């Protein structure tokens, strides 16, 4: 071929190149911006925008162009997931250069992939804004000016923001040093060179980029993956080998606890590696080999629970490996077959009983992986008609919070507990084993006999209908006489039911005439007061709670969700709270009994529930010890009033941080009396069903004989949680530390009781003696034998320093919870 022919071919090829490959000549936004800068989320002010073939939309404010082929280019700005409904995230995302409206149509390039997002918890709308302020704070505000997210670098020497070629969004100072970076705040993705540090999470994204239900975290002892629920359930663990001789020699310690370091994992070229960061070095704990990258890579936790590795092929991201490799057939993943679904070799079925029984049905016969639902929903009101269906050769992906007993007692405990949906019993010998009560069931797994290495019995709870009346034995005479009579009786019964329903629908005030009742509201009044129930404060017992306004005062309106289950609790709360008044009990302002609507109106507590303050991730702005001590005293006074100062003892039955509310001055008040029980003095109460919350239930619930001492046990649990700032049951903790009471027992034996306290700061060090004394008080309240627990009036006196725990418990042994040689010595608690 001649030189002229070669040039002609080259020109023809150049003219045939699609316009989006010519976009390199476009003047794209710089990857760097200086302070102050401001961007508004609309096409008029952000010209570099695109709508892709899949329906997603981006508006880029920073663009980092990377060489074609090796890595994608990265942009930072606003993105709306497909199909775009007007909800935007401020994010960093990969892009193919040429997809913006200033060049070719976006459908010529690969859709963007989000690698970091600031506001998955709260998307923003059109005309939201991002501002890099002159004092160095990067702020995201919604269209109405409300603050959504911030880097909180308000007082740092930040001079600009840089989108690095790695996809890391960086705030830098005048010396070019990093003041803040997105790599330290991962969402669902790790890029090469990025780390996930101990205590932080990768949290999956749903299809619309919102936060999903799976998360991966690094804890002190290893990497753990969980499916989120009221109690998170672990489906993957890889523990660090701290006892390895090489690691031990580098750490210069003899214990198997990484006392002096912080663990983290990093995505490197060709591996996922774990390290222990010490004061002056990092020690590699393990190395998980991954496919060697020929270009850019990322690792993403996805909405099915898989942690997948992706590589850039020049145009898009291609899946390379399943990093966790939990199960080659996916059956060990929590949602592979939906709730109650049984996975076997990748196929999904529902639990089955005897031939002809239809105890479970698929949610969608065409999509069996969506799961199953009980044919008859479980009802706590019909607990006597529930039974456990054996599931042969079935196991579960997660076992935690076990207790040792026999199989019959294990099954009985599940039948008594309304919250228990299934029970698993791992046999240790012929008599005893480990019992696991499951409050929520995800996907189950079928296994071949002899393949799991332990002997397991699995049962799932099902609701049976009451048996129908038998019609046998009727003779012909009875038939001819009985049928007309029966028809008449049915007509009379239908008329009676119709009138009863009509009366119920038209009732004005079922509590009329009861003295001392709070104000009665109509449903329409409360609907207007809450702006059509638009602002949800939380989920209380038996229903959601909404914020409202009555006159100039804020109120909290609790809606009972169903009368069949909630009416008894509704009456209990109105009668109980309406007739008692104490500074440490939430005041009932009013109620609504309007046709089928049952609502309760409480005083509004501006600081919400206690659990939001003692379990918050950012301990720097948590409650001081003085505030926590006062809260403990407030709760004790409220319970002492209920138990000892009312005409009848009132047993709350559900004391937990979520039912302790805080006002604007952090005074504590007990709320949610939906389970409350009136008990005559010097009497106990036989309960027909277990009430309360897992972890806070006293041991005597297994015998069903309940006194006010059950509240005192729950109070002891709450005191431990307040002091330690950790939950009583926490599956995110290392093995052996998930149960706070068991952990306390171990720490007492070795004289390190304050090791249970999370994040020991200067405040903890200043009040060590007081904390130990309060823990001793909690131990006293946690006695297995209810008669050995103190009365709440004694607890109040101890907290007010009228007496100390040693003097008040001379006749009470703590052997039931701690060793008799416990190093807890008497330490006086100063008055507040």
10 and 159 part of one domain: yes
**Could you tell me if residue 824 is inside a domain?**
no
319-323, 360-364, 492-496, 719-723, range with the lowest pLDDT: 492-496
Contact 816, 784 (CB under 8 A): yes
- Under the banding of pLDDT at 50, 70 and 90, the label for residue 593 is confident
Q: What is the mean pLDDT of residues 733-747?
A: 85
Give the pLDDT confidence score for residue 699 in this predicted structure.
85
Whether the pLDDT of residue 632 is over 60: the answer is yes
Rounded Cα distance between 300 and 183, Å, is 14
What are 673-708's pLDDT values in tens digits?
A: 765 666 555 555 545 455 678 888 888 876 657 788
Which residue would you say has higher pLDDT here, 782 or 260?
A: 782
pLDDT at position 804 over 50:
no
pLDDT of residue 282: 85
User: Is it the case that residue 116 has pLDDT exceeding 60?
Assistant: yes
Q: What is the pLDDT of residue 569?
A: 60
Asked which of 190-194, 514-518, 740-744 is least confident by mean pLDDT, the reply is 514-518
Is there a single domain that holds both residue 93 and residue 238?
no
Of residues 542 and 668, more confidently modeled: 668
Is the pLDDT assigned to residue 738 strictly greater than 90? no
Q: How far apart are CA 700 and CA 705, in angstroms?
A: 6
List alpha helices for 113-173, DSSP H: none
Q: Would you list the DSSP string of 24-93?
A: GGS-PPPSEEESSEEEESSTTT---EEE-TTS-EEEEEEEE---TTTS-EEEEEEEEPSSP-S-BEEEEE
Domain that holds residue 252: 195-322
pLDDT on residue 184:
96
Mean pLDDT confidence for 763-788: 91
* Residue 751 within a domain: yes
CA distance 310 to 316: 10
**307 and 391 housed in the same domain:** no
Binned at pLDDT 50, 70 and 90, residue 824 comes out as very low
At 150, the pLDDT band (50, 70, 90 cuts) reads: very high
Is the domain of 616 the same as that of 760?
Answer: yes
Please state the rounded mean pLDDT for residues 593-611. 85
Residues 11 and 104 in one domain: yes
Distance CA 187, CA 168 (A): 13
Q: Do 699 and 804 fall into the same domain?
A: yes
- Name the nearest CA neighbour of 54 among 208, 257, 201, 191: 208
Could you give the number of structural domains in the chain? Answer: 5
- Give the pLDDT confidence score for residue 792 in this predicted structure: 94
pLDDT (average), residues 464-472 = 62
Phi, psi of 253 (to 5 degrees): -135, 160
Instruction: Mark whether 682 and 574 lie in a shared domain.
Output: no
pLDDT band at 399 (very low <50, low <70, confident <90, very high): confident
Instruction: pLDDT band for 260, please (50, 70, 90 cuts).
Output: low
End-to-end alpha-carbon separation of the chain, Å? 97
Verify that 795 and 706 share a domain, yes or no: yes
Residue-wise pLDDT for 805-819, tens only, equals: 444 444 344 345 433
Instruction: Check residue 247 and give its pLDDT.
Output: 56
User: Rounded to the nearest 5 degrees, what angle is found at the Cα of 650, between the Cα atoms of 644 and 651?
Assistant: 110
Express each pLDDT in 509-549 by its tens digit. Answer: 555 555 556 788 888 999 999 998 888 887 765 678 899 99
Helix (H/G/I), strand (E/B), else coil: 742 = helix
Q: How far is CA 460 from the centre of its chain?
A: 23
Q: What is the CATH number of the domain that holds 157?
A: 2.90.10.10
pLDDT value for 691: 64
Specify the pLDDT at position 490: 81
The pLDDT tens digits of the residues spanning 265-297 come to: 999 999 999 999 887 788 999 899 999 888 899
- C-beta of residue 35 within 8 angstroms of C-beta of residue 159: yes
C-alpha span between 56 and 51 (Å, rounded): 6
Indicate if the pLDDT at residue 725 is higher than 80: yes
Q: Report whether pLDDT(218) > 50.
A: yes
Spot the catalytic one: 330, 594, 634, 654.
654
Does 506 map to a domain? no
User: What are the angstrom distances between the C-alpha of 428 and each of 398, 422, 736?
Assistant: 18, 20, 18
Mean pLDDT to the nearest integer, 233-241: 89
Q: What is the pLDDT of residue 802?
A: 43
The conformation of residue 592, written as its DSSP 8-state character, comes to E
The predicted-structure confidence for 338-386, as pLDDT tens digits, reads as follows 999 999 988 999 998 777 678 999 999 889 999 999 999 999 888 899 9
Cα–Cα dist 38/567, whole Å: 54
DSSP H or E stretch at residue 91: strand 89-95
Q: What is the Cα–Cα distance from 265 to 23, expressed in whole angstroms?
A: 38
Instruction: Give the CATH number for residue 765.
Output: 1.10.510.10
pLDDT exceeds cutoff 90 at 138: yes
Q: What is the pLDDT of residue 676?
A: 64
How are beta strands 519-520 and 588-594 bridged, if at all?
Answer: parallel
Nearest in space to 741 (alpha carbons), one of 639, 814, 651: 814
pLDDT at 105: 42
Peptide bond into 83 cis (omega under 30): yes
Based on the residue annotation, tell me whether 401 is a catalytic residue of this protein: no
- Asked whether the predicted pLDDT for residue 141 surpasses 80, the reply is yes
Residue 502 lies in a domain: no
Q: What is the pLDDT of residue 1?
A: 52
- Whether 435 and 383 map to the same domain: the answer is yes
Highest mean pLDDT among 68-72, 249-253, 573-577, 591-595: 591-595
Q: Is the pLDDT of residue 258 over 50?
A: no
Same domain, 638 and 771: yes
Q: How confident is the model at residue 12 (pLDDT cuts 50, 70, 90)?
A: very low
Closest-CA residue to 206 (of 224, 187, 225, 192): 187
Whether residue 361 lies inside any domain: the answer is yes
Which residues, in sequence order, are CB contacts of 204 under 8 Å at separation 6+?
188, 211, 212, 213, 214, 215, 301, 302, 303, 305
Query: Does 637 fall in a domain?
Result: yes
Mean pLDDT across the chain = 81
Task: Give pLDDT, residue 132.
Answer: 95
Q: What is the DSSP string of 468-505?
A: PPP-TT--HHHHHHHHHHHHHHHHHHHHHHHHHHHHHH
Same domain, 530 and 549: yes
826 falls within a domain: no
395 pLDDT higher than 90: yes
pLDDT band for 22, please (50, 70, 90 cuts).
very low
For residues 820 and 826, give the distance between their C-alpha atoms in angstroms, rounded to a whole number: 14
- Least confident range from 150-164, 361-375, 616-630: namely 616-630
Q: Is there a single domain that holds both residue 349 and residue 277?
A: no
- pLDDT exceeds cutoff 90 at 162: yes
Residue 494 lies in a domain: no
Say what the pLDDT of residue 519 is: 84
């Amino acid at each position: 071929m001649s030189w002229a022919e070669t040039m002609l071919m080259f020109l023809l090829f150049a003219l045939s190149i699609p316009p989006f490959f010519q976009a390199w000549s476009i003047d794209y936004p710089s990857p760097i911006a200086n302070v102050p800068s401001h961007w508004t989320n609309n096409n008029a002010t952000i010209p570099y925008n695109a709508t892709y073939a899949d329906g997603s939309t981006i508006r880029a404010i920073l663009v980092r162009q990377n060489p074609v082929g090796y890595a994608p280019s990265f942009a930072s700005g606003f993105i709306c997931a497909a199909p775009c409904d007007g909800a935007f995230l401020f994010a960093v995302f990969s892009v193919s250069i040429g997809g913006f409206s200033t060049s070719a149509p976006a459908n010529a390039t690969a859709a963007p992939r989000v690698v970091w997002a600031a506001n998955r918890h709260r998307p923003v709308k059109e005309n939201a804004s991002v501002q890099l302020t002159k004092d160095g704070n990067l702020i995201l505000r919604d269209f109405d000016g409300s603050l959504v997210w911030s880097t909180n670098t308000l007082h740092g020497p930040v001079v600009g923001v840089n989108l690095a070629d790695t996809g890391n969004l960086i705030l830098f100072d005048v010396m070019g040093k990093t003041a803040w970076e997105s790599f330290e705040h991962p969402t669902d993705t790790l890029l090469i060179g990025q780390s996930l540090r101990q205590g932080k999470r990768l949290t999956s994204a749903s299809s619309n980029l919102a936060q999903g239900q799976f998360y991966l975290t690094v804890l002190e002892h290893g990497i753990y993956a969980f499916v989120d629920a009221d109690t998170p359930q672990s489906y993957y663990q890889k523990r660090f080998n701290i006892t390895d001789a090489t690691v031990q020699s580098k750490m210069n310690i003899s214990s198997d606890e990484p006392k002096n370091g912080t663990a983290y994992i990093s995505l490197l070229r060709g591996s996922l590696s774990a390290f222990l960061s010490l004061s002056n070095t990092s020690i590699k704990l393990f190395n998980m080999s991954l496919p060697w990258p020929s270009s850019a890579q990322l690792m993403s936790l996805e909405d099915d629970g898989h942690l997948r590795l992706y590589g850039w092929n020049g145009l898009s991201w291609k899946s390379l490996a399943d990093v966790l490799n939990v199960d080659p057939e996916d059956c060990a993943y929590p949602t592979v077959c939906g709730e109650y679904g049984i996975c076997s070799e990748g196929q999904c079925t529902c639990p089955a009983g005897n031939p002809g029984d239809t105890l479970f049905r698929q949610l969608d016969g065409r999509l069996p992986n969506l799961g199953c639902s009980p044919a008859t929903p479980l009802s706590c009101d019909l607990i006597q008609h529930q039974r456990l269906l054996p599931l042969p050769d079935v196991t579960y992906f997660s076992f935690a919070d076990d207790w040792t007993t026999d199989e019959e007692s294990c099954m009985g405990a599940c039948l008594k507990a309304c919250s228990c949906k299934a029970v698993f019993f791992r046999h240790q010998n012929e008599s005893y084993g480990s019992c696991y009560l499951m409050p929520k069931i995800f996907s189950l797994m079928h296994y071949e006999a002899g393949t799991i290495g332990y002997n397991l019995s699995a049962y799932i709870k099902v609701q049976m209908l009451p048996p129908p009346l038998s019609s046998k034995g009727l003779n012909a005479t009875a038939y001819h006489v009985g049928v007309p009579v029966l028809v008449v009786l049915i007509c009379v019964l239908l008329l009676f039911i119709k009138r009863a329903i009509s009366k119920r629908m038209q009732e004005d005030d079922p509590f009329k005439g009861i003295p001392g009742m709070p104000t009665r509201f109509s449903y329409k009044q409360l609907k207007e007061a809450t702006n059509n129930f638009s602002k949800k404060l939380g989920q209380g017992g038996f229903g959601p709670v909404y914020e409202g306004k009555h006159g100039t005062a804020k109120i909290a309106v609790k809606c009972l969700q169903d009368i069949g289950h909630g009416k008894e609790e509704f009456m209990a709360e109105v009668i109980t709270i309406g007739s008692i008044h104490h500074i440490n009990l939430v005041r009932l302002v009013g109620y609504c009994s309007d046709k089928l609507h049952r609502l309760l109106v409480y005083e509004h507590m501006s600081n919400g529930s206690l659990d939001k303050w003692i379990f918050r991730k950012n301990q720097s702005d948590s409650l001081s010890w003085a505030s926590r001590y006062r809260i403990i005293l407030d709760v004790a006074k409220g319970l002492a009033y209920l138990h000892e100062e009312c005409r009848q003892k009132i047993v709350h039955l559900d004391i937990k941080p979520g039912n302790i509310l805080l006002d604007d001055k952090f005074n504590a008040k007990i709320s949610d009396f939906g389970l409350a029980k009136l008990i005559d003095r010097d009497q106990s109460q036989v309960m027909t069903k277990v009430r309360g919350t897992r972890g806070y239930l006293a041991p005597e619930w297994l015998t069903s004989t309940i006194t006010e001492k059950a509240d005192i046990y729950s109070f002891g649990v709450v005191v431990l949680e307040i002091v330690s700032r950790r939950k009583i049951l926490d599956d995110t903790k290392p093995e052996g530390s998930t149960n706070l009471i068991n952990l306390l027992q171990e720490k007492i034996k070795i004289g390190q009781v304050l090791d249970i306290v999370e994040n020991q700061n200067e405040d903890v060090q200043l009040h060590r003696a007081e904390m130990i004394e309060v823990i001793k008080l909690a131990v006293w309240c946690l006695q297995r034998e209810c008669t050995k627990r103190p009365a709440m009036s004694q607890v109040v006196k101890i907290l007010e320093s009228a007496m100390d725990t040693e003097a008040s418990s001379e006749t009470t042994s703590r052997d039931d919870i701690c060793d008799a040689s416990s190093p807890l010595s008497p330490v006086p608690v100063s008055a507040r």
